[in-house]
Structure 1
Amino acid sequence: MSIETPCIAVCMINPQTNLCYGCGRTMPEIARWPRMASAERLTIMAGLPQRMADAGMDVPQPRRRRTSTTDTPA
């Protein structure tokens, strides 16, 4: 079973905002994340882009899946 996560493996805390540069979570949120109910995680994740924007931080763009060019017929 996978856990919903906004983590993009840029795990550093901004000392002015106390938010992670990569995902926008606080250290207490990161620490409690595995024990949170799915609904709580989803609620927090929904607010992260606005939280980061309000703090003047760059909001990371979601990763895009790479598509293989070998799968298309020539």
Structure 2
Amino acid sequence: MTDGTPDTAAPNTAIVPSPCISVCKLTADRAYCIGCLRTLEEIRGWKHMDAGQKRALLADLENRQAAAAE
């Protein structure tokens, strides 16, 4: 029976939304997607990552976006 509070004991089973924004175009050097800033390897691997790995990648993407804005 649940009391309505989130289950923090199993964080790797939660659904993590994809960072894809449907702007799927690689940079000229094919280093990453200009829409989501993921590399091809990260895009291909997304479906195989657990929630913890996805959240770690999302944090990396925030850092990439901040670095790109500088």
Match of 2:35 among 22, 29, 42: 22
Q: Report what 1:8 is aligned to.
A: 21
User: Is 1:33 the counterpart of 2:43 in the alignment?
Assistant: no
Change (3 A) 1:48 1:27: same
CA contact (8 A) 2:15 2:51 kept: no
Question: How many angstroms does 1:21 deviate by?
Answer: 0.5
CA contact (8 A) 1:11 1:20 kept: yes
CA contact (8 A) 1:11 1:21 kept: yes
Which one has the bigger helix percentage? 2
| TM-score, with length taken from structure 2 | 0.65
Question: How many angstroms does 1:16 deviate by?
Answer: 3.3
AA aligned to 1:34 is K
AA aligned to 1:39 is G
Structure scoring higher RCO (CA < 8 A, sep ≥ 6) equals: 2
Number of equivalent positions: 56
Q: Which moved more, 1:17-26 or 1:44-53?
A: 44-53
| TM-score, with length taken from structure 1 | 0.62
AA aligned to 1:47 is D
